[in-house]
Amino acid sequence: MSQPALDVRSLDLTDPATFVENDVHEFFRAVRAERPVYWHEPVGRKPGFWVVSRYSDVQSLFHHEALSSARGNVLDVVLHGDDSAGGSMLAVTDNPRHRHLRGVMWSAFTPRVLGEVVEKIRQRTTELVSAVVGRDTFDFAAEVAEKIPMNTICDLLSIPQADRGDLLRWNKMALSSDHAGSSELDALSARNEIVLYFMDLAQERRSNPRGDVISMLATAEVEGRPLTVEELAVNCYSLILGGDETSRVSAICAVLALIDNPDQWHALRNGEVSFEAAVEEVLRWATPGTHLARTATEDIELHGTTVRGGDIVTLWNISANNDETVFAEPRKFILSRSPNKHLAFGRGPHYCLGAFLARAELQALLSALVAGVARMELRGTPRPIYSNFVVGYDSLPVHFEGR
């Protein structure tokens, strides 16, 4: 930790405003070149942490057995102490329990279950896009992007329609905000609301099981015992959290990128690039989740630096996905980019369970845009998200001209 801090380009990565007011891509370009692993000094009462920025290092450390998720996997949580869901929620659980719990959760993502859900995604997305085509100006985030991923996960969990608006509102507050004045207490309150909601729902489904995912989880066993109501609640919360943010923000970034890069919109519309390739570039370009946090359980050597057991280590996907040694001209939006082995969903044991659904949602959106939209136009200033975990926009005023 005696390593000197970065020069004047150094940014406070704990501050949400950093990701709105600065060019973080330029910052990480310099970090990758000059200090691929560096110690981020403590801020106020928050402890310091290691920043890992290069693709090869981030990819490798996702698999490292000496890096634990149990204390928390995002800075906002781990810098304030242990995650209260550690050992219960899949994302903040280590092996061997993680392996057993993931096996149970994975049963919610079988081809039979997902086949029905994907068909609903296609239908809903086509209807949402058709409803806004030709309108003078509308907010793509509110009218389209917000309504696809949240409804997808709610379909998977059989959440009553009347409750979905509250879940979306709480989820948007849990890890991000659309303005700088939101407090950590607001985020904590939102997370608690989601967990309490799912505790009630899990108890109801355990007493009266149906043919839905929550009922299936409520009657399953992990390591020889049923999940508690609290464990059911935090894992349903995890599905909502992971299933909404990545797809919603990626969809908003996709439309803005296509407007800013008309040649790529032209290539997509003319069939010069496949939807599958386009989805991967959208995910890389957007990388909504900036980082994942881990805690070292023993000393690790990285680039001649010793990470001590107990240190917090942050793996920056947003930097890895723009590493020029892996992606040529990374800040160019190139839908035909190949290969495109981005890390938007992580790697290793904690690879995102909902990756298939996220890809299906983005492909449905791009297909609906190509089928129904001739031209897209920005009609205002996109409103950025304030978060040190989720980057992107929370509002996108646009006009869609029909074909």
Any idea what the CATH number is for the domain that residue 369 is in?
Answer: 1.10.630.10
What per-residue confidence (pLDDT) applies to 1?
45
- Strand pairing report for 291-296 and 67-68: antiparallel
What per-residue confidence (pLDDT) applies to 177?
52
Residue 369 belongs to some domain of the structure: yes
Residue 113 belongs to some domain of the structure: yes
Residue 12 belongs to some domain of the structure: no
* CA 104 to chain centroid: 22
Q: What is the pLDDT of residues 76-120, one digit of tens each?
A: 889 988 888 899 999 999 999 999 999 988 877 777 778 888 999
Fill in the DSSP letter of residue 82: -
Q: Model pTM greater than 0.75?
A: yes
Residue 2 belongs to some domain of the structure: no
Residue 397 belongs to some domain of the structure: no
What per-residue confidence (pLDDT) applies to 8?
38
Q: How many domains does the chain have?
A: 1
Task: Please give the full DSSP string across 309-364, using - where no structure is assigned.
Answer: TT-EEEEEHHHHTT-TTTSSSTTS--TT-SS----TT--GGG--TTHHHHHHHHHH
Reported as half-sphere exposure (CB side, CA atoms, 13 A), residue 122 has a value of 7
Residue 287 belongs to some domain of the structure: yes
What per-residue confidence (pLDDT) applies to 189?
86
Residue 154 belongs to some domain of the structure: yes
Cα R_g (the chain), whole angstroms: 21
What tokens does 386 get?
């304030």
* Residue spans of the chain under pLDDT 70: 1-9, 175-184
What per-residue confidence (pLDDT) applies to 4?
46
Residue 49 belongs to some domain of the structure: yes
What per-residue confidence (pLDDT) applies to 116?
86
Is the dihedral angle over the CA atoms 186, 192, 195, 200 positive or is it negative? negative
Q: Give the residue numbers spanning the domain of 378.
A: 18-390
